[in-house]
A and B are shown apart, each in its own frame.
Chain A
Amino acid sequence: DTGVSQNPRHKITKRGQNVTFRCDPISEHNRLYWYRQTLGQGPEFLTYFQNEAQLEKSRLLSDRFSAERPKGSFSTLEIQRTEQGDSAMYLCASSGQQALGETQYFGPGTRLLVL
């Protein structure tokens, strides 16, 4: 059973550029979550998918952010017109639907640095 994978692991970009991150959840997990973690803080919820439906978005997810999960499998998170404040670790997690409060398993994260 492979874990959650994320690509790329590191991304350096210049302010104003667009970036896209990919998350592959554990197979057969139908729930997928995106979080953002800045230095010295705990992860903060960004958005959540159940299958291909995006069910909730945090206020942290500005109009420059968009997430998709087109076939209910992998997901992408795109940031348009990046700003220095977007520099953070972007974490993806997945969980199954067997029970409420199902444990979320996290990927290794994508560390973004905006210059």
Chain B
Amino acid sequence: AQKVTQAQTEISVVEKEDVTLDCVYETRDTTYYLFWYKQPPSGELVFLIRRNSFDEQNEISGRYSWNFQKSTSSFNFTITASQVVDSAVYFCALSPSWGKLQFGAGTQVVVTP
């Protein structure tokens, strides 16, 4: 069975602080995909990043960066220099090769001016 755990329920920061969101996953598949989605108050899930199980290279995209460590089954996500518009619920998700997504419970990020 697959499982995604986001232990942080809510994180509150002041604008310009960095925010790191934790995600731990469980799967028996050797090939799998990991995602981060953002859900602002409007409700629509917005795709942020995708990583496959064979690529542990960590990257930076604008203010977003991620740390994928297969050895610890973790896929953490960082927002650098947070802004008020970053306030949303962030979901980590896991899928096998054919695409069904298993989501974590989400982490609410609150950025105050």
Contacts and interface: CB of A to CB of B under 8 A. Distances in A.
A22 interface: no
Interface string A23-50: 0000000010101000011111100100
B interface, size bucket: 20 to 34
Interface stretch (A12-20, A73-81, A96-104): A96-104
Contacts of B57: none
Interface residues of A, number: 26
B105 A104 contact: no
Nearest to A97: B99
Given A101-B97, A104-B99, A104-B101, A42 B106 contact: yes
B52 interface: yes
A39 to B, nearest CB: 11
A44 B103 contact: yes
A43 B4 CA distance: 12
A44 B91 CA distance: 12
Interface of B: 4, 31-33, 35, 37, 42-47, 50, 52, 91, 93, 95, 97-106
Interface of A: 31, 33, 35, 40-45, 48, 56, 89, 91, 93, 95, 100-109, 111
15 contacts: A31-B99, A33-B99, A35-B101, A41-B106, A44-B103, A56-B100, A100-B31, A100-B33, A100-B97, A101-B33, A102-B99, A103-B35, A104-B99, A108-B43, A109-B44
